Structures are given as C-alpha cells and as structure tokens.
Amino acid sequence: MHSENHSKKPYDPAHHIQRIYVQESCKDFSYTKEILERARHIPYEIIADDAIPDLHAGPYPHSLNTGKHHLLLCRNRGHFFKPCPGTKEYRCCDYQVLNIGMNCPMDCVYCILQAYLNNPWLSFFVNVEDLLAELELACTSTSQFWRIGTGEFTDSLALDSLTALSTILVPFMRDKKTAVLELKTKSVAIDHLSGLDHGGRTIIAWSLNSPSIMAREEIRTASLEERLAAAVQCADWGYTLAFHFDPVIYHDGWREGYSHTIKKLFSTVPADKIAWISLGALRFLPSLRPIALGRFPKSNFFHEEFVLGLDNKYRYFRGLRVEMYQHILGELRKRVSHNTCIYFCMESDEIWQECGFPEGAAQNLPDNLDKAAKAVR
C-alpha cells in the first residue's frame, strides 16, 4: 500500500473509480444523471435499493482496498444534518455535520473511518433536494450561528470533480446570514469552486501534517506544495481559508517536520485569509489499531505508548501531547494573523491552560470561532 503515494499525481476520481452503482430509486434524479454524464468513461450498473455492490473482495476491512475504487450513488434515508459527535469529557467546538456520503477515496493509515464503517465502498447521497431542505430549515429555524462541515464521514472535495456538489452547496450558502460552510479536504479538487458566488459563506480548509507523514501515511492525497497552491488559488477567488493539524503524530523528526510545514504555510498563503487553525494529537478507538496495522503493516506510529482516555480513545501521554502542542503553537503564534482562531480539537481545559491559552479560551471556543468566521472575509 505504501508504494501508492506521492510518486504520482494527487487523487482524481476520474482515474481511480472503476465502477459506479446506482440505486434503482435514484436512477431518474437529474443530479444522478449529471454525475453519470460527468463519469461517462466509468462503467455503471443499476442495483436494487436493498442490494449491495458485489465487489468480490472478501471480508471487511481488507475489502477496503477494492471498495475505495467503487462508488455507490444512493439515497440518504437518515438525517443529513447533525451535531458533530464530540464528547462531554473533552472541549468541543459545537460543529454541525452535513453528511454528504460515507467513506473516502483517499486512504490515510490513521483514518478512523476504517473502524467506524462496515461497508468498504464509497457512498454518495444523491437525494440532494432533501439535503438542501434540511439545511434550509437548520439555517432559518433558529438565530444560532452554525459552523457546518461536510468532512466528517468523507473528504469534502475528493469526489467533487464527479459530483460537483460544491456548485450546489456554495451558492446555496451564499445568503445564509447565520452560518458558514467549511469544506475540508486533503485533495486539490478545487476546479468547481472557481467563479462560484460564495458571498464569503464558504471556508475552504486543508488538513496539514509533517511532510513525511503526508508522504508515508496519507495515500492518494495531495502533497504539501499542492495543497498550499490550491489554498492560494482559493484565496484569490475570495474564499476564506482554514487549516487543521490533525492528527499530530509523534515520529522521528517531528519538530523539524511540523516547523517546515508551518513555515511553508505562512510563506505561501495570505495569513489574513485564515479563519482558524486547529490542532489535535492522534487519538483512535482501540479497534482501529489492528485494522490499520493489518492493512498497513509497515506503518510504525501505532507502536508508540498510548493511554486510554475517558472517551475510550487512545491518546499520547499528556506530557508528550503538551510538548508537541507547545512546539507547534510556538511556530504558529510567531506568524498568525490576529483574526485567526487557533484551537484544540478534543482536549481538556487543563491542556489549553498548560499550552498558554488565556483563561476562558477553551470555554469560549464556539464564540471565538464564530467571531473568526465573521471577521475574516
């Protein structure tokens, strides 16, 4: 698996999806037809709504290798819009998840989806009118300010060259005065964002890491240089940006690696266009480790020492987390704009304080992010 990384171009579904499956009840949607037209070189078949794609790929999770090349266009029968499943034990940012599909065509060794999902294929929801109706209701039924993201159960943009969902969501958000949409990605599939009337309501975000982690542990993702070039292009198109150092991973040369990425970030991207930057050290459900090591036996970052947290996830010991955070924060604080909100994802209030955040910063996180979203436009 590790051979399929940055020796080649970043992920393009046009070259990686081998087969598309369409649920019978979705085959006549105009949106489905548009996607199939864009994907006309990829074979597809209609399957019954209660059937599953037959990949002939053995049991989960080994079938993931094959599943990531197979795309099911289907109906979401549940809710599209839900609060992010944070935990009460750690400080959370009150994010709202817009669920556009399940599973991701890229393949990060640490990806929690490997333990969270039970289907190996990619699902993308084509009942987009139901999605928009729910989003409209959420944005108009309360005066609460929502930060909404589509990157919880998949990558926000990796399939966008086929689905063009951004061309629907971005203009839809344009007039929503009480919300912003964050599209979070490790791809550079930004072509459809060009020329959209976004009204400053969509934030384009990239996850960043140390270069060696990006090269070794994030298969089919774009390189640092490619991600930052795409960010500059989006800033030129007037979009606000955000970045996520998540997961921060302990590895040989981590100090130099994270320093390099941060220097490169601020020498490339306009700092005053960045609404927020998050940090989150590696954390994972116990069930993830055997799955990831089974799929990626050469990966070695799972062999460090971890402690089981109150949310039943393994984390690095507190001292190591603080050491890594302090280093990264030191590099960021030298360069960041005063409008950018730096925050931790899923950390305790004690860690916030130990890392030099002012009193109340953790408790006020949702407000501070809302302010940052409004300030950087």
**Residues forming the site for ligand SF4 (CB under 6 A):** 104, 106-108, 111, 113, 154-155, 186
The identity of residue 83, as a single letter, is P
> Contact, 336 vs 342, CB < 8 A?
yes
Helices 128-140 and 166-173: crossing angle in degrees, nearest 10, is 20
Closer residue to ligand SF4 in complex, CB, 36/215: 215
Least separation in angstroms between residue 8's CB and ligand SF4 is 16
Q: How far apart are CA 68 and CA 18, in angstroms?
A: 9
Comparing CA positions, the residue from 4, 120, 27 lying closest to residue 73 is: 27
Least separation in angstroms between residue 154's CB and ligand SF4 is 6
Least separation in angstroms between residue 282's CB and ligand SF4 is 12
Closer residue to ligand SF4 in complex, CB, 107/331: 107
Closer residue to ligand SF4 in complex, CB, 91/186: 186
Closer residue to ligand SF4 in complex, CB, 122/139: 122
Least separation in angstroms between residue 247's CB and ligand SF4 is 9
Least separation in angstroms between residue 334's CB and ligand SF4 is 28
Least separation in angstroms between residue 230's CB and ligand SF4 is 14
Least separation in angstroms between residue 104's CB and ligand SF4 is 3
Closer residue to ligand SF4 in complex, CB, 115/229: 115
Least separation in angstroms between residue 348's CB and ligand SF4 is 23
Closer residue to ligand SF4 in complex, CB, 65/337: 65
Closer residue to ligand SF4 in complex, CB, 104/369: 104
Q: How far apart are CA 148 and CA 98, in angstroms?
A: 6
What is the 3-class SS of the chain, one letter each residue?
A: CCCCCCCCCCCCHHHHCCEEEEEHHHCCCHHHHHHHHHCCCCCEEEECCCCCCCCCCCCCCCCHHHHCCEEEEECCCCCCEEECCCCCCCECCCCEEECCEECCCCEECCCCHHHHCCCCCEEEECCHHHHHHHHHHHHHCCCCCEEEECCCCCCCCCCHHHHCCHHHHHHHHCCCCCEEEEEEECCCCCHHHCCCCCCCCEEEEEEECCHHHHHHHEECCCCHHHHHHHHHHHHHCCCEEEEEEEEECCCCCHHHHHHHHHHHHHHHCCHHHEEEEEEEECEECCCHHHHHHHHCCCCCHHHCCCEECCCCCEECCHHHHHHHHHHHHHHHHCCCCCCCEEEECCECHHHHHHCCCCCCCCCCHHHHHHHHHHHCC
| Structure-block tokens of residue 284 | 């994972």
Closer residue to ligand SF4 in complex, CB, 68/321: 68
Closer residue to ligand SF4 in complex, CB, 47/84: 84
Least separation in angstroms between residue 61's CB and ligand SF4 is 13
